[in-house]
Amino acid sequence: MKPPVQAHPPILRWLGRIDYESAWRGMQSFTDMRGEHTRDEVWFLEHPPVYTLGMNAAREHVLAPGDIPLVQIDRGGQVTYHGPGQLVVYPLLNVRRLRLGVRELVMGLENAVIAALFSWGIEAVGRREAPGIYVDGRKIASIGLRIRRGCSYHGLAFNISMDLEPFKGINPCGHRGLEVIDLRLLGIEATLPQVIERLAPQLSAALGWPPVLEWGSPKARS
């Protein structure tokens, strides 16, 4: 069943490449400062190379990080990798106001990516026991969230066109031997803004936003 359409859709922002800790502190600050009527936002960006560990992540899943920074953060989930060519989506949503449960939000993010991939003729699935999106058993997108003060932050990492070698330095999302792929390996060449153009309408459909979404400055097409 589709969620009801929300009266006030979020502002979408393309932020480009941002240091992980700066974006993380920005999300925390936005969440702490927002009021009951603050517009939701969705941030689209990419990060320089970094490994991140969730609150309860086991260090044993970090195998050989090399020179890549390792940051302990406040989301759920285990260890993952972020780097150039990966589209990161941070939904800064008042889930209490939207009447969205955590599982509904996770499934909405999964379904949006699945629908975007299907538009390229690629069949993908989510997994309840291991949140994320998979193509033929290979992981193409990860999800890790934090809910605080009734609001969400952290979010989705969608592999588009990146160096996948650093994933070999960890057990991705805590799963030994899990193969990780990106859109380019599936034969699709696309820039991050081009992927946003496909993904944003699917997020709208999956999470109940009006089909016309507002872009904040800087714009995705810039």
Is 142 one of the annotated binding-site residues? yes
Instruction: Select from 139, 178, 134, 146 the least CA-distant residue to 162.
Output: 139
153 near 146, Cβ under 8 Å? Answer: yes
Is 169 one of the annotated binding-site residues? no
Q: What's the distance, CA 218 to chain centroid?
A: 19
Cα atoms in the 13 Å half-sphere on the side-chain side of 177: 1
Is 157 one of the annotated binding-site residues? yes
Is 61 one of the annotated binding-site residues? no
Query: Is 173 annotated as catalytic?
Result: yes
Is 161 one of the annotated binding-site residues? no
**Among 113, 160, 162, 173, the one annotated catalytic:** 173
Is 149 one of the annotated binding-site residues? no
Is 85 one of the annotated binding-site residues? no
Q: Helices 192-207 and 102-119, interaxial angle, to 10°?
A: 130
User: 43 is written with which tokens?
Assistant: 């941030």
Which sequence positions are flagged as catalytic? Answer: 173
Annotated binding site for substrate: 75-82, 142-144, 155-157
Binding site feature residues: 75-82, 142-144, 155-157
